[in-house]
Amino acid sequence: MTQVTSKKAALVTNVLYDALIAPHAGNPAPFLVDDHGVTTTYDAFVRRAAQMANVLLDAGVQPGDRVVAQVPKTADAMALYAGSLQAGAVYLPLNNAYTEAELGYFLADATPKLVVCAAATEEMMRRLCQPIAARVMTLDDGETGTLSLAASGAKPHCDPVPRGPDDLAGLLYTSGTTGRAKGAMMSHRNLLSNASALTALWQITDKDNLLHALPIFHTHGLFVAMNTSLLSGACVRFMARFDLDGFIAALPEATLVMGVPTFYTRLLNDHRFSAETCAKMRLFISGSAPLLAETHTAFAARTGHQILERYGMTETNMITSNPYAGARIAGTVGFALPGIEVVVTQDGHPLPHGEVGMIEVRGDNVFQGYWNMPDKTREDLRTNGFFITGDLGVIDSEGRVSIVGRQKDLVISGGYNIYPKEVEDLLNAIDGIEESAVFGIPDPDLGEQVVAALVTEHEAFDLAGVQAHVASALAAFKRPKRYVIHDSLPRNAMGKVQKNILRQMYSD
């Protein structure tokens, strides 16, 4: 359980706080350097986290309560994450792009005690929080907002609330094939085990300078990038967003980059990007979407660096990685991380090396189940501990994993996941649309782009009206970039829509 006992006295622990935050008390080294050149030292961060924890506790946050954050990417946003851990809460970050309709669902499902948002969305958030009686505070750039102000007035010390390895630390929503988003419950053990494995494997130390341009509301930017930095004491150049000019300007000081493939293709498309801009670089890491072999090859030719590709999921944290020392092979995602088992199965039975099947994974990295969804949890998480990823892969005789496809109907665009079912449900409910099929086609910038094929009921059809409706309901990254009208959708003998045919039709 939550406590480690000694002979003399019960020693309370808070697993993640003790590992990631507490060791930095008094550490004068820089932790975060933002776009304005403002540096937050590790020691200042520890004190700010304590202030945030005190505000949370004063707001009545109890162990296990959810704290929602839909906030700009700032040092205070990181302090809120750390303070939430310290206060024993479950941190629930949300994409800034979500619309009111999407937010309403998350809030009703997660029933947080406290919701932190930007001042610009406060009024809407208050409306959404009324039925669930959640408190609303704000956080903005430049340490403005009611939470920042309250934190500045709070004590910079706070006894961490005890939390054991199996207690929840995070709740991350991930869309699903049913069209309903699911909250993946992450425990302290899940997050710490993965951060420890990655820090060791990628040899991240306090000498590193991580150029961080990912959002901090997903596993990649928050848990992979920030937990490993906190664990190692690395310095993080904290860019509010991926801005190519700013990124190239900051690169010469960086030793480490974690990015989605779009980062790397955009760099390659810019003539300023060269071996010289990577003068201090130690390691480029890619994940969240497939990295094309041609990108890997072109990158190595331009810079001399072989991008290290790894594979993970919200529910599992990181699962495999190409080696730090040793061949990083394009088109493969490398070996299972230490302590993690990866198998490829058919009908639940492990297949021999070289055969394609469902990738399943077991280890301390695997989540605790879906929030409020015991049936879905049982479906995806076997009683023997293996999680069924929905990705299709193959393992070679040395243990290298390659992902060859996805069984789940999913589009990955610029590292964001779009589940077609969610978009189709929305489109099918619109007057004048008989049916729809949403699918991904290759996109040179984003990897894949979302396309919607519509069968309409009338000749005169208001596409602009449909687009406006979609824009009001769905975050921009989920919206189809292109609509095509069909008399009927291609179907197989079983009546199932053949998206592969649609994909092929529009891929050129």
Q: Interface residues with ligand MLC (CB under 6 A)?
A: 97, 214-215, 218-221, 241-242, 260, 262, 287-288, 312-314, 413-416, 446, 476-477
Return the number of other C-beta atoms located less than 10 Å from residue 115's C-beta.
28
Residue 15 or 411 having the CB closest to ligand MLC: 411
From the CB of 458, what's the least distance to ligand MLC, in Å? Answer: 27
Retrieve residue 405's tokens. 């496809």
Q: Which residues are within 8 A (CB) of 18 and not within 5 positions of it... i.e. 6 or more apart?
A: 160
Residue 128 or 258 having the CB closest to ligand AMP: 258
From the CB of 185, what's the least distance to ligand MLC, in Å? Answer: 16
Partner from ligand AMP, ligand MLC, none binding residue 389, C-beta < 5-8 Å depending on class: ligand AMP
From the CB of 360, what's the least distance to ligand MLC, in Å? Answer: 16
Q: 399 near 371, Cβ under 8 Å?
A: no
User: Count of alpha carbons within 13 Å of 253, Cβ hemisphere only?
Assistant: 13
Distance CA 223, CA 212 (A): 12
From the CB of 390, what's the least distance to ligand MLC, in Å? Answer: 13
Partner from ligand MLC, ligand AMP, none binding residue 391, C-beta < 5-8 Å depending on class: ligand AMP
Backbone φ, ψ for residue 189 (5° rounding): -65, -45
Q: What is the largest CA-CA distance in the chain?
A: 81
Partner from ligand MLC, ligand AMP, none binding residue 477, C-beta < 5-8 Å depending on class: ligand MLC
Residue 260 or 388 having the CB closest to ligand MLC: 260
**Residue 68 burial by Cβ neighbours in a 10 Å radius (0-12, 13-18, 19+):** buried
Residue 162 or 440 having the CB closest to ligand MLC: 440
Residue 162 or 363 having the CB closest to ligand MLC: 363
Counting DSSP H helices and E strands in the chain, the numbers are: 15, 27
From the CB of 240, what's the least distance to ligand AMP, in Å? Answer: 21
From the CB of 286, what's the least distance to ligand AMP, in Å? Answer: 7
Q: Which spans in 95-187 are helix H?
A: 100-110, 122-129, 146-152
Question: What residue ranges bind ligand AMP (CB under 6 A)?
Answer: 174, 219, 287-290, 309, 311-314, 333, 389, 391, 403, 406, 412, 417
Distance CA 494, CA 349 (A): 26
Partner from ligand AMP, ligand MLC, none binding residue 242, C-beta < 5-8 Å depending on class: ligand MLC
Partner from ligand MLC, ligand AMP, none binding residue 293, C-beta < 5-8 Å depending on class: none
Task: Identify which of 309, 249, 304, 260 has the alpha carbon closest to the alpha carbon of residue 282.
Answer: 304
Q: Which residues are within 8 A (CB) of 239 and not within 5 positions of it... i.e. 6 or more apart?
A: 35, 211, 212, 213, 246, 247, 250
Residue 158 or 318 having the CB closest to ligand MLC: 318
Distance CA 150, CA 135 (A): 14
From the CB of 113, what's the least distance to ligand MLC, in Å? Answer: 25
Partner from ligand AMP, ligand MLC, none binding residue 290, C-beta < 5-8 Å depending on class: ligand AMP
